[in-house]
Structure 1
């Protein structure tokens, strides 16, 4: 359904106007008055702040605003309660220049013909949780077969859920899958109207408060017993149109993001970072639990290394096999490393992060 909506929007746009780059062929692109960023989430209570990544830190600290202040360029942040599907619709409507996006909605957009470049990763080890009501007798995923499970369809959470189910010999048809966004799904779980919820970090906070019980953690419950690790890949995309017209501005954006990733990766900043992200409404204690035993640099690295590429390719193939997308997505033609490579060189951060190979081991 999400892909069909995108195709309709792209068709409408193509019949109403050409791309700005086409209309201005042969002329220098004027400097934009605004750079428009999309974020496929909202904070607790719908607040326009999220945590968890170097993009979050960049937004909270106003670092891009500082970078472009002297140019008179405003930075506009758009937070989407409708998550990835809503971001794709905004991209199709020409309403964004950059966005962060989980892997499945990024695949859906690319498969449907959205013209973007993948220029950074915001994390190659994204995980999800499955929670049940406190009084539920369920202790394992298998206990929920035939039960009502909620996931926000068209998001990275749906893809990682589908891959986990397939790894264990299930499909979505083995459960009663219900589509709800993050705002509506938690009340449904707390009221007992559903039997389980696939979601992210906030489930840990509710478990700590005794409201739910987490029975599956993709970070610890995949990659064992000879099974492959399953993780979602966070991406940062720039539209082809903006990258073509303003490569200098894209480079400056990437430089700011990579510099922030360096700060986020510094263990000396761990508590400061979690306190900063707390502005999203998620408690610092929840971030501490999520990062327990995990080096900041492992999850805050912007590198598009072998593990990221292999996981992204596996996710794209799984999305096709599971019929989440209608056409294959070629990873090689989508990724543009030039901005990241230049940022690493200019900031002298070429050796800042460990690169990992396709199996997740440190690359030689």
Structure 2
């Protein structure tokens, strides 16, 4: 049975990339088969089909094994983008063969490919997802007067138009009676929007993973809206050009198998995987672990889960209503045959486990479990619940905390404990990702009181 070889080092990887060309498979000749992969390095919900997959060298290893069997040489070219739209453009131009992107961009990808005629494109696997939509969020400056999403009416909001984050923003605003046209929307790439927020040239940033967490961790803003409040699944997936898949099904199978290798590595070694993604992207490892760690905001898996496909089906009429998608035959677009042919093993998602040393109990409830990453330690410490986590921070005697993660008491969204809003209800200490969430709980529980992080630490 094949097991992934030791990850290729950076010098070897550089040599492989230097040898690669930007040619699509259409230019392959003789026994050399080209495969061009488009990915988004900083969209860390796709790392198992992009950043981590590339860093570990799993695709090259799988293709090398395939080449030993059939006598062909396979050459991989990686192309990095900030969002899904340019990947779609390159796929339609037959310059990218396999790409990963978020739910709205991949639906737009399928629609435009079908409109163009020919074999089109196919959704063949999932990378990461959140069943409530917590991968998207809206961040405002720390000094912003906005307390709820409705307070953004008439304000400048940066987002990437047509992205999943944009869709979350539009739908969430509609729920509070604010039309999309009631805000001054700035169509910007994530990094540009984050810089604009820090500079004060926009009032809010609505973006997808990992930008909300990165902005908050850097101290440049606070989470105003948690996408989980919308309660709609958000996901990223892998799309292929069907023409390429028909010509080289063995490459697609190898890609999906390599994606499974990367998923297993991420789930079995979350801290190491986060460090590698951080090194490749420039993101803080604490931010990567927030999303990609055990009990993280993202769950990684390859299967085309029925719940996620149902969400895509519901997204199609919404995208039509906002004018970014004309038509899409979803049944034709979703193709599980490649995964079936790859016959991949199940990879269970990473969970926080172990024993809480401070509270002296097993950590076995993912709805409550947290973890602490202390400076100078190569592993994180599990916490059975938010109160136990606070006690562990106190018991550390001032030892520096790199990051402490706890799940939101209402939505389950994992967030930074020191950036949460806290509520004391009886003896329970409850964290909330947003002021809005804490306020709603306090309104429903008259005896509860709001606390800052420092007050919650003292109360634990």
TM-score, scaled relative to structure 1: 0.77
Aligned to 1:252: 254
Matched, 1:134 2:142: yes
Aligned to 1:65: 60
Distance in 1 separating the partners of 2:59 and 2:294: 31
SS of residue matched to 2:222 = strand
Q: Mapping of 1:26-175 within 5 angstroms?
A: 31-39=31-39, 41-43=40-42, 53-55=47-49, 56-69=51-64, 70=67, 71-81=72-82, 83-114=83-114, 115-125=120-130, 127-175=135-183
Distance in 2 separating the partners of 1:291 and 1:67: 24
Maintained 8 Å contact 1:51/1:57: no
Higher relative contact order (CA 8 A, sep 6+): 1
Maintained 8 Å contact 2:136/2:226: yes
Aligned to 1:235: 237
Maintained 8 Å contact 2:274/2:293: no
Please identify runs of 4+ aligned residues in structure 1 that moved more than 4 A: 29-32, 49-52, 350-354
SS of residue matched to 1:265 = helix
Gaps (5+ residues) in structure 1?
1-19, 22-28, 44-48, 223-228, 355-364
Distance in 1 separating the partners of 2:143 and 2:206: 17
Encode CA deviations 1:186-211: one digit per residue, 9 max, x unaligned: 12111111111111323323322322
Deviation at 1:264, TM superposition (A): 2.2
How many residue pairs were aligned?
310
Distance in 1 separating the partners of 2:81 and 2:287: 23
Maintained 8 Å contact 2:126/2:303: yes
Deviation at 1:234, TM superposition (A): 0.7
Gaps (5+ residues) in structure 2?
1-24, 115-119, 351-460
Matched, 1:272 2:277: no
Encode CA deviations 1:337-363: one digit per residue, 9 max, x unaligned: 1221233x3x4x258579xxxxxxxxx
**Residues 1:124 and 1:287: Cα distance change in structure 2 (over 3 Å):** same
Aligned to 2:21: none
Distance in 2 separating the partners of 1:288 and 1:129: 17
**Residues 1:275 and 1:334: Cα distance change in structure 2 (over 3 Å):** same
Deviation at 1:87, TM superposition (A): 1.2
**Residues 1:60 and 1:262: Cα distance change in structure 2 (over 3 Å):** same
Matched, 1:301 2:301: yes
Maintained 8 Å contact 2:45/2:128: no
Maintained 8 Å contact 1:149/1:194: yes
Maintained 8 Å contact 1:52/1:277: no
**Residues 1:32 and 1:312: Cα distance change in structure 2 (over 3 Å):** farther
Deviation at 1:91, TM superposition (A): 1.1
Distance in 2 separating the partners of 1:32 and 1:123: 32
Q: Pick from 218, 232, 257: which aligns with 2:227?
A: 218
Distance in 1 separating the partners of 2:169 and 2:331: 25
Structure (1/2) with the larger strand percentage: 2
Deviation at 1:116, TM superposition (A): 0.6
Superposition RMSD on alpha carbons, in Å?
A: 2.8
Aligned to 1:326: 326
**Residues 1:175 and 1:78: Cα distance change in structure 2 (over 3 Å):** same
Aligned to 2:437: none
Maintained 8 Å contact 2:41/2:47: no
Distance in 1 separating the partners of 2:31 and 2:348: 33
Deviation at 1:291, TM superposition (A): 5.3
Deviation at 1:317, TM superposition (A): 2.2
